[in-house]
Every structure is written in structure tokens, then in C-alpha cells.
Structure 1
Amino acid sequence: MSNPESFIDEVTEEVRRDKLFAMFRKYGWIGVLLVAGIVGGAAYNEWSKARSEAAARDFGDALLTAIEAPTPESRREALDKITVRGEQAALVQMLLSSDPQQDRAATLVALDKVIADASLPQIWHDLATLRRVIVAGAEMPLADRRAALEPLAAAGRPFRTMAAEQLAYLLVEDGKTEAAISALQALLDDQDAPGGLRSRAAQMIVALGGEPKQG
């Protein structure tokens, strides 16, 4: 034999096949069930996927119909009737909070529902908290607004710069002009701050008697 290793490999492969055949005769019914389960599972997954896509389309259609309602009252009524699952509830509640001038109390209730829903991802809680502080305004004690905003302004939070902007405005409201200018200048220097926010910060610095320093 010119290649003994090849001969050994062939013998080993034959033994492996014999063992597999014997195991299949003994446990073949398990294999059949597994195959049936895999095929059935794949079919179920496809059905489930199609069903989820259809549900998502229905949700989107209902959302668009509600948004296009002619009055805030009819828009709220349409939004309240939408069947939701998971994070869809947060989206509906955020849309219900979009007319604070028309119904401020309902807006705050919608935001509180998002904040209280522990099943939602943190980003929804942060967004609802930020918006609630803005909508509540001076009717919410300044200390409570600051306590709500400070965690949102921590590093890594998705609305960090917007929360920092609101905290700067609280300093203005509290009569701490120099501290407010410093906070607004920090936002001007913050590379994560969007252009619109930086523009507002610069305008506020000027309004407070300061001079914006462009980094």
C-alpha cells in the first residue's frame, strides 16, 4: 500500500458508517421526528413571519389613518382604538402626547403611561421623561424637573444633549446666569450636540449677556 494513512482513513470511515447505520436503525425514529420538527418549525416560522408582517402593515395603516384625522379629538379617538403589541404602545402614547396645547392633561397622562411601562426599552422612558418635563413646565417644581433630567444627561444616554440643554434653561429660571452660560457654552463645544441645539445655545448665551465662543 503506497499510502497507509489513506487506507486507515478509509477503514475508519467504513466503521463510522456502520456505527451510524446501526444507530439510525435503533434511534431512527428520533431522527424522523427531528426532521419533521425542523420542517414543521420552518413552516411555522414562515407563517409567523408573514403574520407579523401583516400585523405590522395593519398597525402602520391604522397609525397613518389616525394621524390624518382632521381634528385633535378625532385623532386621539382613532389612536385609542389601535390594537398594539410591545413597543407599538409607546409609539401610540407618544403620538397621543403630541397635542399639549389642545389637551395638556391627556398629553401628560399619555407620557406617564410610557414612563410607567417597565416592559419598554429605556430609550422610550428617557424620551417620555424629557417630553414630560418640557410639557409640564413651571407647574412641575424646578427641583423635580432637575431630578428627572439629570439622569438623562449622563454619558451614554440617547438624549443626553437635549437633557443638558433643558438643565441649562433651569439654571436660567433659577437665576444662575453665569452657571447657565457655562452650561450652554459646554453644549456649543459638545461634538454630539446637533446643529439646531448649538444654534439655540448660542442665541441664549447672547440673550443672557454672554459671548458664544465657537470651538
Structure 2
Amino acid sequence: MSNPESFIEEVTEEVRRDRLFAMFRKYGWIGAVLVILIVGGAAYTEWQKASRATESQAFGDTLLAALDQDTPEARRSALIAADLAAGDAPDKLALQKLLVASDTTGDKASILAALDAVIADTRLAPTYRDLATLRRVILAGTDMEVSARRAALDPLAIPGRPFRTLALEQLAYLMVETGDVEGAISQLQALSQDQEAPTGLRQRAAQMIAALGGETAEG
């Protein structure tokens, strides 16, 4: 390679380096900002996770402390007050209200109101709302029209719903209440063999079949 060609290549390379350094000086801050954003975003995400974990633990401690009260009245009061610790988190509020509704020492109206609040909250997962609906039907009992109870339970009994078998059990009891004993026995027989049903439910179904004069699968 001749010296002129070598000189031209060296000059060209030097110009490229100068351009690269100039571009870096001009636009290098963009890369620095991106690095800061990435690192800062990761740190913020971790901080959020830690904050949520701390808040959840504090809320759990509040509920446990409420459940550990010595008297039913004190326990209920503490559970009602726990909504302050839940803040505006829908799932926490739902859990708090379901626990309030599980305490039978309270007045029926306030328990039903707590369940209605869960049922009406469309931000919640269907599991919470289904459980509140089921609990409300059971608690309301004959104070609630049979047609209203059936209308509330029917959607819960659809395959795939989390409390399907419990809803079917309650529907069988409605059949007994309305005089459809044969229909109730048939539904309870199916439930007694339903592998999705908890063991306790299958046992209750078998006992109810016997009480109604029907035959269990074993019989």
C-alpha cells in the first residue's frame, strides 16, 4: 500500500472518530437519562412491592388482633374498625366485610349491609362477590323471598363458578322448602357423588337424602 493511500485512510479514520466523539458529546446525555430511568424505575418498582408487602402485613396483623379479642362484642368492634387499615384496597375491604359478616353476634341488618357492599363492588374478583351472595342467601333465610334466593343462587351454580356445589346444595334446600322433595333428593344424590364437592358437603347431602326418605348411592 502506498504512503498516500495510508495517509488518506488515517485521515478518514480520524474524521470518523471526531464525528463519533462529537455525536457522543451532543447526544450522550440521552443514554445517561435512559440509564437513570431504567435504574430509577427498577428501584421504584421494588419500593412499591416492599410498601405493598408492608401494608398487607399490617392489615393482616390488624385482622388477627381483631379476631383475638376476648369477647364477641370486642371482636366485632375491632373487625368493623379494621376497614380503616384496609384503606381503599378493594380486596382488603372485601375480606374485612366478609369477616364482619361471619360473626353471628352482630345485628342481622348490619351484616347484610356488609355483604351487600361486597356484592355491589364491581372492582372485586367474582370469588369475593359469589361468596358474599351465598352467605347473604343463607343468612337472610326465609326473610328473603324464595324466588329472590333462587335468582341469586342460580348464577353461582353454573359449572366453573367457585362455589357451584354449595349453591346447588342451597337450591336443593329451596326445593324442600317449596315441597319439591323428589327434585331435592335427585339433586342431593348428584351432589353426594360430585367429586368437586367437599367431603363435608357430600356427607350432608347423604344425611339429608336419608332424612327425606330417599336412597343414597350406597343404599
User: Could you tell me the TM-score, scaled by structure 1's length?
Assistant: 0.85
**May I ask how many residue pairs the two structures share in their alignment?**
198
Cα contact 1:205–1:211 (8 A) shared by 2: yes
Aligned partner of 1:132 in structure 2 is 136
1:101 Cα deviation (Å)? 4.6
Assess, with a 3 A threshold, how the Cα gap between structure 1 residues 43 and 176 changes in structure 2: closer, same or farther: same
Alignment of 1:73 with 2:73, yes or no, is yes
Assess, with a 3 A threshold, how the Cα gap between structure 1 residues 135 and 20 changes in structure 2: closer, same or farther: farther
Gaps (5+ residues) in structure 1? 1-17
Aligned partner of 2:208 in structure 1 is 204
Assess, with a 3 A threshold, how the Cα gap between structure 1 residues 40 and 213 changes in structure 2: closer, same or farther: same
Assess, with a 3 A threshold, how the Cα gap between structure 1 residues 116 and 21 changes in structure 2: closer, same or farther: farther
Summarize deviations over 1:14-48 as a string: whole Å, max 9, x none: xxxx9998875553222111100111112212222
Alpha-carbon distance in structure 1 between the residues aligned to 2:58 and 2:39: 29
Aligned partner of 1:96 in structure 2 is 100
Alignment of 1:191 with 2:191, yes or no, is no
Tell me whether 187-196 or 73-82 shows the greater mean CA deviation: 73-82
Aligned partner of 1:168 in structure 2 is 172
Aligned partner of 1:39 in structure 2 is 39
Cα contact 2:73–2:105 (8 A) shared by 1: no
Alignment of 1:157 with 2:161, yes or no, is yes
Gaps (5+ residues) in structure 2? 1-16
Give % identity.
59
User: Could you tell me the TM-score, scaled by structure 2's length?
Assistant: 0.84
Summarize deviations over 1:101-126 as a string: whole Å, max 9, x none: 54222211111110111111111110
Summarize deviations over 1:80-101 as a string: whole Å, max 9, x none: 2222123000000001011235
Aligned partner of 1:3 in structure 2 is none
Alpha-carbon distance in structure 2 between the residues aligned to 1:100 and 1:67: 13
Alpha-carbon distance in structure 2 between the residues aligned to 1:157 and 1:129: 13
Assess, with a 3 A threshold, how the Cα gap between structure 1 residues 201 and 22 changes in structure 2: closer, same or farther: farther
Tell me whether 79-88 or 203-212 shows the greater mean CA deviation: 79-88
Alpha-carbon distance in structure 1 between the residues aligned to 2:118 and 2:97: 7
Cα contact 1:76–1:96 (8 A) shared by 2: yes
Alignment of 1:54 with 2:61, yes or no, is no
Superposed CA RMSD in Å reads 2.1
Alpha-carbon distance in structure 1 between the residues aligned to 2:20 and 2:214: 82
- The SS at the match of 1:185 is helix
Summarize deviations over 1:27-80 as a string: whole Å, max 9, x none: 322211110011111221222222212111111111111111122322222122
Tell me whether 176-185 or 40-49 shows the greater mean CA deviation: 40-49
Letter in 1 for 2:27: Y
